[in-house]
Amino acid sequence: MAVTQGKGRDGPDFSALPEGCIASVISFTSPADACRLASVSSVFNSACDSDAVWASFLPPGSRPMVSRSVSSLKELYFSLCDDPVLIGDGKMSFSLDRHSGKKCIMLSARALYIIWGDTPRYWSWNRMPNSRFAEVAELISVCWLEIRGTVSSRLLSPGTRYAAYLVFKSTLTSYGFEFQSVEVGAAFAGDEAGKCERSVTPAPTEGDGSYPKERRDGWSEIELGEFLTKDGEDGEVEMSVLETKGGNWKAGLVVEGIEIRPKDGK
């Protein structure tokens, strides 16, 4: 969105408009546009910081989620981008995509179906200081790996292409995944999910999408699949991570959860 302003230029000087009018127009753009437009002039900067603009970027019901006091809706918006809020008895987290303002949901390991997850000889539940959740699941040793999760599309933003990601770490003593990939998928219940193979071991060459990517929070992730939420559509999205064919024993996978966020911030 280009804006001209200042004397001696062709075209209207939008900075001469009332601040409320400017704010009303900016509210129909995106959070990223609002941040860029703030540099146009002092009037634009004031309009871009106004609650009238940032109220339009906040999803309904998001204001009560932040317990600490905030001085503006802009501060509330970026608080929800940077500091995910725990919901669902602490088994899920809610945040906003910084670029688009769309909803992001993460299911903790406790919110997932992990076969034999409550059997101590196969899985253990531990605290990790850099996890947003109270517990993570550590794979002790299994030959049948099966992790599944579901999320209601009502928790997500409509009209948005989402992707689901397994968020995990590998311990120093992990084994069994070096030569065996996992089968992953994500789709609405009843839809034919496009299954694909992913590795949970580090990529031998940079840029290979079938291998894990490092996250800014210190964890790794692999994409499970993508799906499109439609306006007025209500359904369950099913996600899975499987390794049930090789029969080889494997260990050392630490699962934080599955994150669902807009694909490439869109």
pLDDT in tens, 78-132: 999 999 999 999 999 999 999 999 999 999 999 999 999 999 999 999 999 999 9
Q: What is the pLDDT of residues 42-59, one digit of tens each?
A: 888 888 888 899 999 998
Query: Is 229:238 a contact under the CB 8 Å cutoff?
Result: no
- How far is it, in rounded angstroms, from Cα 70 to Cα 206? 41
Considering 187-196, 200-209, 243-252, the range whose residues carry the highest mean pLDDT is: 243-252
Closest to 3 (Cα-Cα) out of 13, 90, 101, 19: 13
Answer whether residue 229 shows pLDDT above 80. Answer: yes
Indicate the residue type of 164.
Answer: A
Region of residue 257 (phi > 0: left; psi between -120 and 50: alpha; otherwise: beta): left
Name the least confident of 62-66, 203-207, 241-245. Answer: 203-207
- Whether this model's pTM surpasses 0.85: yes
Q: Shortest CA distance to 145 belongs to which of 240, 224, 239, 242?
A: 242
Q: How far apart are CA 184 and CA 147, in angstroms?
A: 10
What pLDDT, on a 0 to 100 scale, did the predictor assign at position 114? 98
121 by Cβ neighbours in 10 Å (0-12 / 13-18 / 19+) ranks as exposed
Neighbours of 247 (CB within 10 A): 9
Q: Mean pLDDT for the chain?
A: 88
Query: What are the residues facing 96 on neighbouring strands?
Result: 103
CATH code of the domain made up of 86-265: 2.60.120.260
Percentage of residues of the chain with pLDDT beyond 90 = 61
Tell me: pLDDT of 8 over 50.
no
Q: Distance between CA 174 and CA 3 in Å, rounded?
A: 55
